[in-house]
Amino acid sequence: MAEGTKVRPGMIIKVADPFRANRFRGGRVKPGSTGNVVKLDRTVDDMFPNGLPATFSLNIMLRVREDDQDVVRQVSVGDIDRAQWSGDTITLPTGSELEYVPTANSVFAIGTDGLRPSLWRVIGVAENEEGTYNVTALTHETGKYDFVERDVPLQPRNVTALDNPAGQPTNLVADERLYEANGQVYVKIILSWQPGTDTARSIVQLAI
């Protein structure tokens, strides 16, 4: 079943984007999982070659049958000790069993204090002719209302592990020139600079 059919407008979803995060922190659940033992299509060494942090969270999106209807559920378990993950199997602590047994091919994402899935609010789902789906969503900030109404500082959510932030541009030069158009003389400024490292584009703001 296409993943686009699992989300609905208004839902808050978690996305483990390997390109934005610069790490693979997600995958699919393998057959044979239960409410307290989850089998993954990737091992702990595949996703954490340098070692798993002390604790992590497990997030799974799955479709369940309730009252003769297909219902989408997102289940999450946090503060799981790294000793609970061996190879491709996570054994959940007593009392933290999943309410629903994950079905094969359900999507999962792993979160840690240093790298968490990004949060998005779905605003639209559209089916394409080739059987794929376009999901439109807005970035979601859980503490935005407290920030606006109570001045509670927003808590940073690390969603990328890119180790090479773009460098600042250097050697900025502004060249003022006169030019004629339609019998009028105008002034223009040509800006040039040396791009910083790992820079795809630069945004210029000019205050006059």
With respect to residue 94, please indicate whether it lies within any of the assigned structural domains: yes
List the one residue out of 120, 116, 117, 136 whose CA is nearest residue 128.
Answer: 136
31, 76 contact by CB (below 8 A): no
Residue 17: the pLDDT is 83
- Rounded CA separation 48/38 (Å): 17
Specify if 155 maps to a domain: no
Clarify whether residues 140 and 179 are in a common domain. no
- Asked whether the predicted pLDDT for residue 202 surpasses 80, the reply is no
171/75 same-domain check: no
The pLDDT tens digits for 48-103 are 888 889 999 999 988 777 777 777 778 888 889 999 999 999 999 888 888 888 88
Residue 198 in this model has a pLDDT that exceeds 80: no
Considering the domain boundaries, does residue 156 fall inside one? no
CA 11 to chain centre: 15
State whether 21 and 71 are in the same domain. yes
Domain of 205 in residue numbering reads as: 164-208
In the structure, what pLDDT confidence band is assigned to residue 5 with cuts at 50, 70 and 90? low
The H or E element containing residue 26 is strand 26-28
What's the angle, vertex CA 6, arms to CA 160 and CA 58, rounded to 5?
A: 45
* Together in a domain, 109 and 75: yes
Count of all residues that appear for the chain in the document = 208
Clarify whether residues 57 and 27 are in a common domain: yes
Same domain, 77 and 170: no
Q: What's the rounded mean pLDDT across residues 127-137?
A: 85
Q: Is 159 domain-assigned?
A: no
120 and 195 part of one domain: no
**Distance between CA atoms of 77 and 100, rounded to whole angstroms?**
12
Residue 8 confidence class, pLDDT cut points 50, 70, 90: confident
Asked if the structure places residue 158 within a domain, the reply is no
Classify residue 32: in a domain, yes or no. yes
Q: How many domains does the chain have?
A: 2
